[in-house]
Amino acid sequence: MDPALLRERELFKKRALSTPTVEKKKKDENSSAPRDDSKKKAKVPSNVSAAPKLDVVNYKTMTGSSQYKFGVLAKIVRHMKSRHQEGDDHPLTLDEILDETNQLDVGSKVKQWLLSEALISNPKIEVTEEGKFIFKPPYKIKDKKSLLRLLRNNDLKGLGGILLEDVQESLPHCDKALKSLQNEIIYITRPIDKKKIVFFNDKSDTLPVDEEFQKLWRSVAVESMDDQKIEEYLEKQGIRSMQDHGPKKILHHKRKKPNQRKKVFKKPRDNEHLADVLETYEDK
């Protein structure tokens, strides 16, 4: 073996022996730490709690939680809607609303937010002149007569029907009113979102249709066909479809611009006014 390597090995051993070892002390300190903690824990009396308990009332009234604020607002809007549907249409102050919704533990900052921002900008809440609040329905209808009048006006103006959910939200005791008007209105389900729409049943538009024609009409399935496919099918059967359906575009005639050319005036020739007087002397 190389003597130089042996010498380096010996020197390395001496250096390793001369350096102090700290690992054992660390292990001793770590092992003694749990014992000290257990002793400290034992000294704490049993009737004193180490951590303070969470106050439920303070947690509820924390103003920093936006989820809590919007929860209070949603509860107010639901309550105002339900009392409107029951026929209670008198306005209320904020304290009266919080009392009826069992939310009297709301903090001052949340109250200020409701008064200055939330209730004023909410589309379902209306503010009266006295500073009170009332529910704002989609339509101002109070009874079945006003509902029938609204549906008739929409039918005359060609505005169509009204969503059933808007009627239920606007009209107090809606089910009772709709039941009494079952012969005056009709329901049509919208195929896009399956929502029901209420229309005025104009009986003057009803025409007697033969049952055989009704059966033929119902037997033809055109749900998956567009206008172009229907037109192609009619042409194959020897039937010409209507080409002029839909609103016609009005063509505006363009006005002709006036001629901007400048009129050129011919210069008069010399002595044209003496044409009859002049004489020629060539023959002389």
SS3 227: helix
Residues 131 and 180 in one domain: no
42 falls within a domain: no
Question: Whole-angstrom Cα distance, residue 109 to residue 242?
Answer: 66
190 falls within a domain: yes
Residues 86 and 127 in one domain: yes
162 falls within a domain: yes
193 falls within a domain: yes
Q: What is the model's pLDDT at position 199?
A: 92
The CATH number for 196's domain is: 1.10.10
Residues 149 and 175 in one domain: yes
Angle at Cα 278 formed by Cα 274 and Cα 284, nearest 5°? 175
18 falls within a domain: no
Q: What is the model's pLDDT at position 242?
A: 60
Residues 122 and 149 in one domain: no
Q: What is the model's pLDDT at position 54?
A: 40
Give the domain-ending residue among 159, 174, 203.
203
Residues 131 and 113 in one domain: yes
SS3 212: helix
Residues 65 and 126 in one domain: yes
Residues 115 and 62 in one domain: yes
218 falls within a domain: no
**Residue 182 lies in domain:** 144-203
Residues 110 and 149 in one domain: no
The CATH number for 87's domain is: 1.10.10.10
The domain total for the chain is: 2
What is the DSSP secondary structure assignment for residue 50, as one 8-state letter?
S
Q: Is 19 exposed, middle or buried (0-12, 13-18, 19+ CB in 10 A)?
A: exposed
Per the CB < 8 A criterion, the answer to whether 60 and 105 are in contact is yes
Give the domain-ending residue among 97, 113, 135.
135
Predicted TM-score (pTM) of this structure: 0.51
Residues 91 and 113 in one domain: yes
Residues 81 and 150 in one domain: no
Q: What is the model's pLDDT at position 49?
A: 46
118 falls within a domain: yes
Collect the ranges in the chain with pLDDT lower than 50: 26-29, 31-33, 36-42, 44, 48-64
Per DSSP, helices labelled H in the chain are: 3-18, 23-43, 56-60, 66-85, 94-100, 108-113, 119-121, 144-157, 164-170, 174-180, 211-219, 227-236
Q: What is the model's pLDDT at position 102?
A: 92
159 falls within a domain: yes
For 190, what's the count of Cα atoms within 13 Å in the CB-facing half-sphere?
13
